[in-house]
Amino acid sequence: MSNISLTEAVNLTHNYQNSPVSNNQPISFIVDRNEILSVLNQLNCNDFRIYMGLTNGNQFSLVVVGVDNDGNDLTNGIILDEFRRCPTVCPTSASPLM
């Protein structure tokens, strides 16, 4: 993982938004801080992993699970889904990422 510039972020997000893959799919997801902390605060949790999912309605979804020191998913712990999506929960001011 690396930090990227705003220009790189704009290129990545616009590439997705202008591709056929994004047709009728979310543009972004809001991940609540407390929800992520509930995953990270689990015993033996060092990181979290994000899986791509697909709902029964064929909408992209994110599944978040904690990861231990050995890189194993903590599947007996907290697993998150159903993040707020844009659309409908989009930035309230203009974002260059959209």
Domain boundary assignment for the chain: 6-86
Residue-wise pLDDT tens digits, 23-64:
989 999 999 999 999 999 999 999 999 999 999 988 899 999
How high is the pLDDT of residue 94?
Answer: 86
Return d(Cα 76, Cα 81) in angstroms, integer. 15
Q: Across all residues in the chain, what is the average pLDDT?
A: 93
Return d(Cα 97, Cα 14) in angstroms, integer. 7
pLDDT reading at 1 higher than 80: no
Q: To 10 degrees, the CA torsion angle through 73, 85, 21, 62? A: 10
Return d(Cα 77, Cα 44) in angstroms, integer. 10
pTM: 0.86
78 SS3 class: coil
- DSSP label at residue 53: E
